[in-house]
């Protein structure tokens, strides 16, 4: 939200007041921080303290390298929930101190400090590394304030605030050349400078400024991150109100955020994961190919069987089969009952699918809504499971499902009921759940079961409690590391409940690029695992688009074929072209490659979850933070630490990509290129720019391996790419536990004797 009309004028209908000086500095109640009393005009004489507002800014140490900053206008305002679940693994101790020098008062939390200028009648708070070597950002003149809209003509009007909105805002400086990234799964420009961003979950597809997954955290190329600690709507003007500042505003009386010093993106994300939670682990089988029925297509048991037998006949292993919406009866979504007309024996069908070996796991689509045509709607109303309006009516509308209600997860009884429905699905053989929707949660004229929650704060937070409930139900049934979601909505902390996919994209190259930008941004928001609708969701993909999407889609952490009103089995896309360049052969090729990559992928997944970094799509700036070009790259990504991938967007088979400094080896041909530099190549559908980083020990499954789950220490191929002393590869078992460490010492690979079977060692250089 913009509060000014240019640099000099207030926006129409807005009255804003700014902290003009730091009048007094005192300890915070904890005794560890500093509390700043900041009047909204300069206090030059005794009478200036009357008839004006003040802002209190409390700066507290959180843990090493992290400070919290909370700005408050009226301290008596209620602190209503829900609140983010911070420090889920416990808050680390912090070595903090307050010092005073001729420059001002400095609060230090380990490696990060904030200095409040000691100059009279000034407002200037600088955030910097404690050693003084790195200036990060600052709150300067007229950068912290409050605003009213509509603008009152006299302070007397604020005795009735029912028709006046009140905002708190801060403006952190944007330095020359600084770029801002993250803020959830955003499909627009990768660098957010120049954008207006509203953090408010919405079902808007992948081709707008709306997002399914709004995360109130951004990461700066200058070596810091900033997490806004509220699930409420957050409005950001990132160089778009003042070009040199990021403005953060919320409606209310308080605004709290945490500033996180890295200085590297890895360190920032690791500290952010301490604050909001590390990503959950996922089982090895989930990395295999997922095949969906698609959305509004017609299907029954015979259709499902034909899909799976067709995939098997074309040598395309399917790990998970997904039943989308119409496993349920029309108008009854989502009451968890298979449509008996189409699926008279779902338990038997699932058992037969698994016994035949054409698929190992089964997933079904759900959402947290209930159409009134469902036989259980009346029971849900009677027992208070659904969200209500303020007058006591159940909240209903005809958007999506006729007369649908929304499950009220603030009601423990509703949660128990929802889990009991899930357990019935688990009883018939369902292994994982696609938790769709959860974005269009109303914030006006609603009353939650828990009357203490603020409906506006519940809008984004609903995604957290919805996915948490389903994820924990899966954990309770299948074990802590066997739970898998396929979620669309998310907010800060949702990385704890993997995994997510990128929502409704079109079947175009432009939508491929949008989706990649979304995945990169989400990865810079603390999420390790991400997927996409391969081939695009909306429309009918041309064969070339489908094949190009397959290639990079199988190099995402997770890979799913899914569409809207058309199937995504390959033979329906190109009239069953059986040539080596056909859709079926292309899908088989990339599915087999992912299977061979599993020793590398699954080991990298463990590191990703420990450190709160993305497995894939991993932005280039995470691996190469000192390369300015890496911060601009939004059409390529890393898979783990060592593999670089560039999707192809052109029908003429050409692609341009960037290689950072060092030697890079083409995975397919062994050709070596030296970076830094830009390169152009032409590729068949069987390849794309897949380059291996210098110094890599890459462990692959044996030639011809097509399974996702196997012994990653047996019959493997170990490739050396310009390795040096200390080059290392960690191998894990199917549960993610470290089993073998290969390391180059004295020119030899130490640890290879711990490998089993017939292993192949190849030097590629």
Are 251 and 1 a contacting pair, CB within 8 Å? no
* Rounded Cα gap, residues 237 and 244, in angstroms: 11
Is the confidence at residue 666, as pLDDT, over 90? yes
Please indicate, yes or no, whether residues 469 and 496 belong to a single structural domain of this protein.
yes
Are 124 and 144 a contacting pair, CB within 8 Å? no
What is the pLDDT averaged over residues 284-310? 97
- Give the residue carrying structure tokens 């900041």: 38
Per-chain mean pLDDT for the chain: 97
* Rounded Cα gap, residues 339 and 3, in angstroms: 53
Please indicate, yes or no, whether residues 593 and 628 belong to a single structural domain of this protein.
no
Are 490 and 184 a contacting pair, CB within 8 Å? yes
Q: What is the structure's pLDDT at 765?
A: 82
Concerning whether 504 is annotated as a catalytic residue, the answer is: yes
Q: Is 706 exposed, middle or buried (0-12, 13-18, 19+ CB in 10 A)?
A: middle
Q: Is 291 exposed, middle or buried (0-12, 13-18, 19+ CB in 10 A)?
A: buried
Are 646 and 635 a contacting pair, CB within 8 Å? yes
Are 483 and 471 a contacting pair, CB within 8 Å? yes
CB half-sphere exposure, 244, CA atoms < 13 A: 10
For residue 209, which phi and psi values (nearest 5 degrees)? -85, 0
Q: Is 390 a domain residue? A: no
Please indicate, yes or no, whether residues 692 and 590 belong to a single structural domain of this protein.
no
* Rounded Cα gap, residues 640 and 608, in angstroms: 8
For residue 280, which phi and psi values (nearest 5 degrees)? -70, 155
* Rounded Cα gap, residues 90 and 358, in angstroms: 44
Residue in 64, 229, 337, 439 annotated catalytic? 439
Please indicate, yes or no, whether residues 558 and 626 belong to a single structural domain of this protein.
no
Encode pLDDT of 108-155 as tens digits: 999 999 999 999 999 999 999 999 999 999 999 999 999 999 999 999
> Helices 598-611 and 265-276, interaxial angle, to 10°?
70
Please indicate, yes or no, whether residues 312 and 349 belong to a single structural domain of this protein.
yes
Please indicate, yes or no, whether residues 571 and 663 belong to a single structural domain of this protein.
no
Which residues, including other chains, have CB under 8 Å from residue 90's CB and lie 6 or more apart? none
Please indicate, yes or no, whether residues 334 and 476 belong to a single structural domain of this protein.
yes
Is the confidence at residue 196, as pLDDT, over 90? yes
CATH classification of the domain holding 678: 2.60.40.1180
Q: What is the structure's pLDDT at 459?
A: 98
Encode pLDDT of 448-502 as tens digits: 999 999 999 999 999 999 999 999 999 999 999 999 999 999 999 999 999 999 9
Is the confidence at residue 58, as pLDDT, over 90? yes
What is the pLDDT averaged over residues 315-323? 98
Residue in 58, 70, 232, 504 annotated catalytic? 504
Which one, of 552, 524, 520, 557, lies nearest residue 536 by Cα? 552
Concerning whether 439 is annotated as a catalytic residue, the answer is: yes
- Domains: count for the chain: 3
Task: Give the length of the chain.
Answer: 765
Please indicate, yes or no, whether residues 513 and 648 belong to a single structural domain of this protein.
no
Q: Is 268 a domain residue? A: no
Please identify, among 611, 629, 664, the residue that sits at the C-terminal boundary of a domain: 611
Are 530 and 501 a contacting pair, CB within 8 Å? yes
Please indicate, yes or no, whether residues 685 and 607 belong to a single structural domain of this protein.
no
CATH classification of the domain holding 428: 3.20.20.80
For residue 132, which phi and psi values (nearest 5 degrees)? 80, 5
Please identify, among 611, 639, 667, the residue that sits at the C-terminal boundary of a domain: 611
Please indicate, yes or no, whether residues 598 and 657 belong to a single structural domain of this protein.
no
CA dist 147 → 14, 293, 521 (Å) = 7, 51, 30
CATH classification of the domain holding 144: 2.60.40.1760
Share of the chain above pLDDT 90, in %: 100
Please indicate, yes or no, whether residues 577 and 630 belong to a single structural domain of this protein.
no
Please indicate, yes or no, whether residues 659 and 554 belong to a single structural domain of this protein.
no
Q: Is 647 a domain residue? A: yes
Residue in 17, 178, 319, 436 annotated catalytic? 436
Q: Is 57 a domain residue? A: yes
Encode pLDDT of 571-590 as tens digits: 999 999 999 999 999 999 99
* Coil vs helix vs strand at 88: coil
Concerning whether 542 is annotated as a catalytic residue, the answer is: no
**E strand intervals along 519-579:** 530-531, 533-534, 559-561
Please identify, among 585, 611, 637, the residue that sits at the C-terminal boundary of a domain: 611
Encode pLDDT of 645-657 as tens digits: 999 999 999 999 9
Residue 164 lies in domain: 1-76+96-173
Q: Is 194 a domain residue? A: no
**CB crowding 433-460: b at 16 or more within 10 Å, else e:** bbbbbbbbbeeeebbbbeeebbbbbbbb
């Amino acid at each position: 939200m913009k509060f000014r009309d240019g640099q000099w004028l207030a926006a129409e209908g807005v009255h804003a007041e700014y902290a003009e000086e730091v009048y007094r500095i005192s300890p915070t109640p904890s005794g560890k921080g500093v509390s700043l009393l900041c009047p909204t005009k300069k206090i030059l004489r005794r009478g200036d303290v009357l008839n004006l507002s003040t802002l209190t800014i409390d700066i507290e140490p959180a843990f090493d390298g992290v400070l919290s900053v909370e700005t408050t206008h009226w301290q008596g305002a209620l602190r209503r929930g829900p609140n983010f679940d911070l420090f889920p693994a416990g808050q680390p101790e912090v070595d903090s101190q307050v010092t005073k020098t001729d420059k001002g008062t400095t609060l230090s939390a380990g490696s990060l400090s904030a200095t409040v200028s000691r100059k009279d009648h000034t407002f200037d708070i600088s955030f910097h590394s404690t050693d003084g070597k790195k200036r990060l950002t600052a709150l300067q003149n007229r950068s912290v304030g409050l605003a009213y809209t509509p603008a009152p003509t006299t302070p007397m009007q604020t005795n009735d605030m029912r028709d006046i909105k009140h905002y708190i805002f801060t403006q952190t400086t944007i330095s020359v050349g600084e770029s801002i990234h993250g803020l959830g799964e955003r499909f627009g420009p990768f660098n957010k400078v120049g954008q207006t961003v509203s953090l408010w979950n919405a079902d808007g597809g992948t081709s707008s400024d709306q997002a399914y997954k709004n995360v109130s955290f951004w990461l700066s190329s200058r070596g810091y991150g900033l997490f806004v600690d509220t699930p409420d709507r957050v409005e950001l003007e990132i160089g778009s109100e003042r070009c040199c500042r990021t403005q953060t505003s919320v409606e209310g009386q308080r605004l709290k955020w945490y500033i996180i010093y890295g200085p590297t993106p890895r360190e920032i994300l690791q500290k952010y994961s301490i604050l909001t939670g590390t990503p959950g682990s996922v089982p090895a089988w989930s990395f295999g190919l997922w095949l969906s029925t698609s959305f509004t297509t017609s299907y029954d048991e015979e259709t499902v069987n034909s899909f799976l037998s067709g995939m098997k006949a074309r040598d395309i292993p399917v790990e998970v089969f997904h039943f989308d919406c119409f496993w349920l009866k029309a108008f009854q979504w989502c009451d968890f009952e298979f449509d008996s007309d189409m699926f008279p024996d779902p338990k038997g069908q699932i058992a037969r699918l698994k016994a035949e070996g054409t698929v190992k796991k089964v997933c079904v689509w759900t959402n947290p809504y209930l159409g009134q045509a469902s036989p259980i709607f009346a029971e849900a109303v009677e027992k208070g499971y659904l969200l209500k309006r303020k007058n006591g009516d159940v909240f209903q509308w005809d958007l999506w499902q006729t007369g649908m209600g929304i499950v009220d997860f603030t009601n423990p009884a509703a949660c128990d009921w929802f889990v009991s429905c899930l357990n019935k699905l688990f009883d018939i053989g369902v292994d994982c759940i696609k938790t769709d929707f959860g974005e269009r949660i109303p914030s006006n004229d609603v009353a939650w079961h828990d009357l203490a929650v603020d409906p506006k704060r519940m809008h984004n937070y609903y995604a957290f409690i919805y996915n948490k409930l389903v994820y924990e139900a899966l954990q309770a049934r299948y074990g802590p590391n066997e739970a898998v979601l396929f979620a669309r909505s998310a907010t800060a902390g949702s990385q704890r409940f993997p995994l997510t996919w990128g929502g409704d994209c079109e079947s175009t190259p432009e939508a491929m690029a949008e989706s990649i930008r979304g995945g990169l941004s989400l990865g810079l928001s603390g999420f390790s695992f991400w997927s996409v609708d391969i081939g695009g969701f909306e429309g009918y993909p041309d064969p070339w688009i489908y094949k190009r999407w397959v290639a990079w889609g199988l190099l995402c952490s997770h890979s799913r074929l899914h569409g809207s009103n058309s199937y995504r089995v390959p033979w329906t896309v190109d009239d069953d072209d059986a040539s080596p360049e056909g859709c079926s052969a292309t899908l088989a090729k990339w599915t087999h490659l992912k299977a061979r990559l599993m020793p590398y992928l699954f080991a990298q997944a463990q590191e990703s979850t420990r450190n709160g970094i993305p497995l894939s799509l991993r932005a280039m700036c995470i691996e190469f933070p000192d390369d300015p070009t890496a911060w601009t790259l939004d059409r390529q990504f890393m898979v783990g630490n060592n593999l670089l991938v560039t999707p192809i967007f052109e029908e003429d088979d050409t692609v341009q990509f960037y290689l950072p400094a060092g030697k890079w080896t083409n995975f397919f041909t062994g050709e070596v290129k030296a970076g830094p530099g830009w390169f152009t190549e032409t590729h068949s559908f069987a390849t794309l720019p897949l380059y291996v980083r210098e110094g890599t020990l890459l462990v692959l499954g044996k030639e011809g391996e097509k399974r996702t789950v196997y012994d990653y220490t047996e019959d493997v191929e170990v490739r050396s790419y310009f390795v040096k002393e200390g080059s290392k590869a960690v191998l894990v078992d199917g549960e993610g536990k470290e089993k073998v460490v290969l390391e180059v010492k004295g020119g030899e690979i130490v640890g290879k004797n711990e490998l089993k079977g017939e292993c192949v060692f190849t030097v590629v250089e």
